Amino acid sequence: MINLPEDELTFLTDLVKTSRQKPHRVDWVDRDGTERSTLLSPADASRLNKLAHGLKISKAETLRQAAHIPVKK
């Protein structure tokens, strides 16, 4: 067993758990016109889907619009 603090073990366990799930891919176009492909965990895909549905736009359009949100420093 790896000798790490509990929070690090939880992080690693969550990574393994997520990697065993089927990823969901969303293709979208970034604000500069670059084509992107984002792999999401099932939980993130579900959350994005709910957001997009609430906005009445596609998941790809939701990500395109999100690319314009300023990054907090």
Instruction: State pLDDT tens for residues 34-69.
Output: 999 999 988 899 999 999 999 999 999 999 999 999
φ, ψ of residue 35 in degrees (nearest 5)? -75, 130
Tell me the C-alpha distance between 40 and 35, whole Å.
16
pLDDT at residue 12 is higher than 90: yes
Specify the pLDDT at position 50.
98
The 10s digit of each residue's pLDDT in 15-28 is: 898 888 898 999 99
Distances (CA, A) of 31 to 1, 20, 25, 36, 73: 45, 32, 19, 10, 20
Given this model, what pLDDT does residue 25 score? 96
Q: Which contiguous run of DSSP H or E holds residue 53? A: helix 42-55
Token pair of 50, please? 């709910």
Q: What is the pTM of this model?
A: 0.74
